[in-house]
Structure 1
């Protein structure tokens, strides 16, 4: 009894010194003493997040929970992830879409397609572009790092078939030229003039490519 009175006395002095309302203190003390109703769900969300190396946002985590038979809406998953400080890796760093166009560095070819992308003749119209893809891997210190790959495909507008392609770790002329040569060989059976259509990026303006 005496111990409780001393504790109450100390609390009164402390609250007076800090000018903190006693009612507010009692409210938060009661809240903190309550058990966390979402403790189990928080552990599951943290586990899914860690297992996928931080690459899962709230939508994919919600689907992963659903696969385990746990039905919870995205709003709640998002709120819990915010509380735990979890943010998907792909949202941490903003990046721009890769664009091969760097201005006019060579001779720009005439647009012979003029948005007439359809053709009933195989190998007559071929289109190409460089696409950037991101993936994740661990470095020697087991830290998750972002890597990039560049795909250079040549596609037949007749049926969408990929005639040739190259994959490289950085945009480069050799990958494009090698894929172009292979596509030229594969389309050599076309009885009509062939047209290779691109966005006129830096590589497609090169003399070697145009030749």
Structure 2
């Protein structure tokens, strides 16, 4: 109305907009309130958009950080009340399945990594682990290998079992894609797959040094645990997979495995023998 009053009488504009002339003139005298309302509306719209873009998984801290990256300054306290007012409630994971069997008599490697998670260059330190995915057809298992320098997945495989061959396949993908120099430090938990003779044989052929977490200590492999948490918390746990194929297609969504100069091909495994 403020712009259109240059062309049309205020009385006509007020009649069209169904407001009184006195209300319009009062509004003109308090531009600060109008600008404040606009900023509030913009904040609410952007917060709702970011919340949906991240699959309704962001709490007030992460949403506040996301708003800051979008150029909208907002404190944690403000965003917490904003989410309550808008009814934005973060979702949390539900199902759980144990994937680590450390009750075995196989050899255990020392914890050489010792939580030194900051690699100085690519292909110096890799971490690995297995997670689970529920479908109406049954469980699927995903093994990944992560380069600590970039914190990106460099090798992976997915199957309806979690035998040693699953982990070996993920390791083979990482090795043939990156071709690391001898001496790379390979860290995992104490699971029977990683302690097996077959897996150790592959590490020996690839000239990698094996490191293992302390028993029952997930913090010793926290970068991989954090990746799995993000993958499941922000994507997989809130999709209802009817088939294992649909779950695999969701897992190999290329956006999950994109790096600056590389993209893992959307394939379920690689037939490589060492």
TM-score (norm 1): 0.48
Indicate the structure (1 or 2) with the bigger Cα radius of gyration.
1
TM-score (norm 2): 0.37
